[in-house]
Structure 1
Amino acid sequence: MLELTSRAPVSKAPAVRDGILSVRNLQAWYGESHVLHGVDFDVGDGEVVTLLGRNGAGKTTTLKAIMGMIGQRAGSVRLRGEEIARASSDRIARLGIAICPEERGIFASLNVRENLLLPPVIGPGGLPLESIFDLFPNLRERLDSEGTKLSGGEQQMLAIARILRTGARLLLLDEPTEGLAPVIVEQIGRTIAQLKARGFTILLVEQNFRWASTIADRFYVVEHGRVVDHLVNAELPSNIDRLHAHLGV
């Protein structure tokens, strides 16, 4: 196993051509706690990019900072070249970024249909309900069920489906497979592959790198609020020990 730690020198990933998202020196705080210490990465148009790292590394905070959901943040976040780091979360959403949070955020007082139709359409390119039901057939059968009466897997499907009709083309997915049965994990993987084929760009937070390796183009490893390594999918087989050293597998 390669002896790599967070102090090891790591070459910076090259800037991505045709990038849709560029993050530079992203900092974030929760009160007095400084969580992100200068995160740098790029996401290319139509890519699936995964942020890997141990619990508490700063992956979820990175997504929230991009979306403007962290009150105290600094650095640069550019969407198609436009600086959005100081924009409000509702402004960022209307520019075409949507987040599917780890906690899913399903409204208990609404049924599946109402949960699906709740987010506003912010632009062209969203999926019609029939296309969403093709991706998630279970939801068609549960339209009149209360959102929180669904199984964990169905709630995750609903959380993803809800953002697909908005017209957002950059999707931030936070731990979409956590706690789900293997058959549902496989379905989520197939769905992400189909969304990529439809032209969506996806930034994924995930701890299960073996699953992520089946769908992602590139990987950034986050440790202690910094990006410490970068790998493309083709490099994974020859760098498993290197990745294990980072993730403590």
Structure 2
Amino acid sequence: MPELSTAASGAVNTATGGQILSVKNLEAWYGESHILHGINFDVNAGEVVTLLGRNGAGKTTTLKSIMGMIGKRTGSVRFNSEELIRTTSDRIARLGVAFCPEERGIFASLDVRENLLLPPVVRAGGLTLDQIFDLFPNLKERLASQGTKLSGGEQQMLAIARILRTGASFLMLDEPTEGLAPVIIQQIGHTIARLKREGFTILLVEQNFRFASTVADRYYIVEHGKVIDGFANSELSANMDKLHTYLGV
């Protein structure tokens, strides 16, 4: 993973590498409930790919299935050509994959520094605290603050910062803008764009399509546990009518 530079956010470099993630015929269950019904999509190195869809479509389950957090799953999930479908979450993390959940998972009884340092570094190349504070200056100012004292935006910054320490280069972010003020959403967008420029690959689940349209290279539409459509950001204008139908935006 490239070393994080101190360049200011600007135009996103859209150059991408070869395929890094391939999901084929992915099915998943919660107990007896069959949630995913043959998900198919791929992600290229250096891309920001967004899964769009209504609540309950299966987007979060898709991320958890990739991360090995679903007990029963079938099909194929290949990361850098390594099959993950029977791989445990800790092994997947050591391959450079990280999951940032919608609920953020901040420990209320720990301060910001303790939350940051809690996850282990599982592979080389994780960001240093100084690099993280360069991305999120607010966190440096709140190091001694308990998790309960952080705003929603600060909690989201902390949740993303934690996985950047681990050495992961493939980031899965679940609804990172949920419930945040517009100014914080803009800051999260700048952060995603900057991480992309630095060589990270990002798979994003997002209900806020307007936000997604500012950061994504490609989109997949998930409905009833299947990918029913997909297109590049350059094709966005031509697909807006379909998006209105799919998402009700």
Count of residues paired in the alignment: 234
Consecutive aligned runs of 4 or more in structure 1 exceeding 2 Å deviation: none
| Distance apart, 1:122 and its partner CA | 1.4
Cα deviation, 1:183-208, whole Å, max 9, x if unaligned, reads 00000000000000110000000011
> 1:234 matched to which residue of 2?
234
**CA contact under 8 A between 1:49 and 1:218: conserved in structure 2?**
yes
> 2:46 matched to which residue of 1?
46
1:248 and 1:20 map into 2 onto residues whose CA distance is 31
| Distance apart, 1:178 and its partner CA | 0.4
RMSD: 1.0
Matched ranges for 1:21-32 at <5 A: 21-32=21-32
2:199 and 2:122 map into 1 onto residues whose CA distance is 17
- Paired letter, 1:72: K
1:214 and 1:156 map into 2 onto residues whose CA distance is 18
Where structure 2 has 5 or more consecutive residues not aligned to the other structure, the ranges are 1-15
1:97 and 1:149 map into 2 onto residues whose CA distance is 29
Where structure 1 has 5 or more consecutive residues not aligned to the other structure, the ranges are 1-15
Matched ranges for 1:1-249 at <5 A: 18-249=18-249
SS at match of 1:75: strand
SS at match of 2:57: coil
**CA contact under 8 A between 1:148 and 1:155: conserved in structure 2?**
no
TM-score, normalized by length of structure 1?
0.92
Q: Among the aligned pairs, what percent are the same residue?
A: 75
- Paired letter, 2:182: P
SS at match of 1:192: helix
Cα deviation, 1:96-141, whole Å, max 9, x if unaligned, reads 1001000000011211001101111112221111111111110000
| Distance apart, 1:17 and its partner CA | 6.7
CA 41–234 in structure 1, closer or farther in 2 if over 3 Å, else same: same
1:181 and 1:169 map into 2 onto residues whose CA distance is 27
